[in-house]
Amino acid sequence: MNRPRLNVTPERVAAYAEMFGIEVSMDEFAAISNQLRGVLGDIDQLWDIDVSGHEMSVIFPVDR
């Protein structure tokens, strides 16, 4: 399985917010993207866990 590349940028956060009609300033987008980058920074370590002997009970939506 390929590891996801989670590249959070203000532009991508803005595009996501636009899909839902959320109006946010670019300063807020920058702050939000920094927070998300910190939160999601280590999530790719989940791909190091061997789950071959376990039934999946949670599905993570990941844009590849």
Kindly report, residue by residue over 43-63, the tens digit of the pLDDT. 777 777 776 666 666 666 665
> CA-to-CA distance for 42 and 25, rounded, in angstroms?
27
Q: Could you tell me the residue ranges of all domains in the chain?
A: 10-46
Q: Would you state the structure tokens that stand for residue 46, as one six-digit string?
A: 């989940």
Q: Please check whether residue 58 is in contact with residue 30, taking contact to mean a CB–CB distance below 8 angstroms.
A: no
* Per-residue pLDDT at 2: 72
**pTM check: above 0.75:** no
The Cα 11–Cα 61 span in angstroms is 20
Helices (H), 1-64: 10-19, 26-40
| Number of other residues whose CB lies within 10 A of the CB of residue 57 | 5
